[in-house]
Every structure is written in C-alpha cells, then in structure tokens.
Amino acid sequence: MNMTCLYPLLQILPLFFLSALLSLASSSDTSELFETWCQQHAKTYSSEQEKRYRLKVFEENYAFVSQHNQKGNSTYTLSLNAFADLTHHEFKTSRLGLPPSFLGFKRVQNQPSHHLLHLPSQIDWRQSGAVTPVKDQGSCGACWAFSATGAIEGINKIVTGSLASLSEQELIDCDTSYNSGCDGGLMDYAYQFVIDNRGIDTEEDYPYQARQRSCSKDKLKRRVVTIDDYVDVPPSEKEVLKAVASQPVSVGICGSERAFQLYSKGIFTGPCSTSLDHAVLIVGYGSENGVDYWIVKNSWGRGWGMNGYIHMQRNSGDSKGICGINTLASYPTKTKPNPPVPPPPGPMS
C-alpha cells in the first residue's frame, strides 16, 4: 500500500467549540468564522487573493459539513478541521496517492491460522498498552511507514511486555529498495526491510523529520526491536477480525473521500470507494447502538477525528469492507526476544 499521505494537521478546536462556531455561522458572516478558524490553526496565506480563495473553499466545506450534520440520521459527524481550506480535489491529488505497481504486489506464502475458538466481542489494544500515542506524518506521504511501525510496536509489546515508539524516519531514509519515502510505500516492504536489517531503531534515537534524508548508517545499526516475519491476511472480514483479536493490524483504505477529510466523530459508514490510497492501523473493534466498527489509528495528529482515531463500520455488507479495509491487511510476527539494549542514543549521523 503506497499511501501518500497528508498535510500537517495543526491543533484543531475542541469539539464543543467547533459546534459553537457552526452555530455562529448560521447567524453571522462566514468571514468572521474563517478569521477565527485561521487564528486557531495558525493559518497564513501568501496574498490577499489567496486568502479570498481559501475563504471561498472554506465556505464550501462549511456548507458540506453543515448539510451532513443537519441530516440527523448519520452515525458520524463532520467538523471544520485543519483541512477545511482545501478543496476536495486538492485533498485527493496533493495529499494521497497509490501507484498501481504497489497494488500488484502479492506475496506467496503459507497463510497463518489464528486458532481462536471464541473471538472476544470487543477488543482495544490501547487498553493493553500496545499502542503508542498518535503521530503526525505532516506533508510527507509516509503513512505506510506509520502503519508498519504501529503494527511492530504492537506485537513487540505483546511479546516482550515493553512498548517502544519506533522510527518511521529510518524507514523513510533507508528502506529505498522498493519503498519511496515521502512518495509512498507498502507495509510489507517495510516489514521485509526490518527483517533484513535485523531490527529497527527507536523514534527517540532516529526522530521524525517529515522529509526524506540520507540514511544514517550508524542509526541503522541500532537494532532495538526485531520481528521474525510478516503475514498477509486473506481479504475477508472474518480473517481480519481474527487477526485483530490477536494484535494490531496494518490495513490500506480509501482515505480520500470528502467526508473522511472532514471527519470528526462517530462510526464512519461512507460513502467511500474501495480504491486504496492511505495506510492506517486497526487497533481493535467493538459495537455501538447495533453498529459494528473497527477502531482505526490514523497518522494525521490528534487534531483529526477522535484524538487521531476513527471508528469505521464493520460488517458493512461489502466483502471488501468499508473503504476497502478488508483487502490489504498485514501484520508482523514475533516470537524471539529483542537483542541487548544498544548504547544510549547519540546525535544524528
């Protein structure tokens, strides 16, 4: 899943304040709302002409958000988040992208078997301490790296009892045989890189820069967390469910829909395509008011969605799953302990 991903999400307004702003716009000029929004998001523009254009885009997104939220029969709501000054076309063409060559990848391997006789009705790997805080990929299209490290972080915690935040930057800089840094990549290739390198460094030691740099050979040798192999999950809801019951799972989705762009809270039910263009991490599942959902960790910062998470409909009736979520799932495997702890982190090389 090459997943070219999005725009630095700045801190958005608390949900209650956003609701107040939406109410305000119904009784006052949207330009005042836009000015308040710009202040909250530290938005500046290169010229008055650009600012007027962004105001127009903002007004169109405001109308879209208002129309959706006023329906009253949806399972999710939208908000004027940090993407509210982007057109839908801009969002799709400049923040997402999945070259067909990545989708053509198919690994030949024995499929795993999760021998779980009784699947739990709900699970949330955050409650087990197997999920690191939400990260922000910024304007670098490295969602594939964030999804891969998230899955490795999860299985490492489950096996060793230790949660370590791992380095996306190492994957962006050094995993260049098949992946393309900020221009996209595939989680399976990232797993293979970690296997071939015999481990991956921590976020603390090899911090995120939101751009591709020269590979640090010294950091490459700091093999803090290892994995044994990886597994491609058969494209079915049942198989993905069994996998998530055992550990966090990387998935590809269509993240380019306008409603996804402006998502705020609730269970996302679409509409959306099943053409994959973004990578995320399933960290659990549950049900609410008779609607089943996946708990999905995104990499657009805590300001998007529900503190960086989205609940996406499960058992949608489409064999591919909501936004194609069942079609390209994978996860790393681990049974062995990590190598001895390397020396304390040093300066970047």
pLDDT digit string (tens) for the chain, length 349 residues: 444 442 332 233 444 444 445 544 543 578 999 999 999 989 999 999 999 999 999 999 999 999 999 988 899 999 999 889 999 888 876 666 455 556 666 554 545 556 666 899 999 999 999 999 999 998 888 999 999 999 999 999 999 999 999 999 999 999 999 899 998 899 999 999 999 999 999 999 999 999 999 999 999 999 999 999 999 999 999 999 999 999 999 999 999 999 999 999 999 999 999 999 999 999 999 999 999 999 999 999 998 999 999 999 999 999 999 999 999 999 999 999 999 987 766 665 5
pLDDT for res 343: 74
Contact 102, 186 (CB under 8 A): yes
Residue 103, C-beta contacts closer than 8 angstroms, at least 6 positions apart: 1, 276, 328
Its pTM stands at 0.88
Active-site hit among 5, 143, 182, 323: 143
Instruction: State how beta strands 229-232 and 291-297 pair.
Output: unpaired
What gap in Å lies between CA 176 and CA 198, rounded to an integer? 16
Q: Is 38 one of the catalytic residues?
A: no
Active-site hit among 179, 298, 311, 323: 298
pLDDT for res 27: 38
pLDDT for res 130: 99
CA angle 133, 167, 250 (to 5 degrees): 65
My answer on whether omega of the bond before 100 falls inside 30° of 0, hence cis, is no
Residue 46, C-beta contacts closer than 8 angstroms, at least 6 positions apart: none
Active-site hit among 41, 88, 278, 311: 278
pLDDT for res 101: 57
Q: Is 110 one of the catalytic residues?
A: no
Instruction: State how beta strands 229-232 and 278-288 pair.
Output: unpaired
Query: What is the SS3 assignment for 50?
Result: helix
Q: Is 298 one of the catalytic residues?
A: yes
